[in-house]
Amino acid sequence: MSSIKLSDTDYVLWDKANDRLVSFTDGEVVIYGDKEEAEIDCYGNEYVTRCTDLPEHHQEALKKQIEKYL
């Protein structure tokens, strides 16, 4: 398990119906530091969701993504 801690002030756009997080074209998940900015980018089935409120498998994937840049 990663030692990275996700912040409850970081947000992602989660398509719950398809269990997918909105990503850039390179596959990296878009992480927002501002809820209002995330809401502006939100479409269709997507929900603005705190990183810490995601299911465990998504949290672990985000931690791995962050860890690559440390």
- DSSP character for 22? -
- Asked if 45 contacts 22 with a C-beta cutoff of 8 angstroms, the reply is no
* 3 state SS of 62: helix
Sort strands 11-15 and 20-21 into parallel, antiparallel or unpaired.
antiparallel
Is the model's pLDDT at 68 over the cut of 60?
Answer: yes
Tens digit of pLDDT for each residue in 4-52? 999 999 999 999 999 999 999 999 999 999 999 999 999 999 999 999 9
Which pLDDT does position 2 carry in this prediction? 61
- Asked if 48 contacts 35 with a C-beta cutoff of 8 angstroms, the reply is yes
Domains of the chain by residue range: 11-67
Which single residue is written with the structure tokens 């949290």? 59
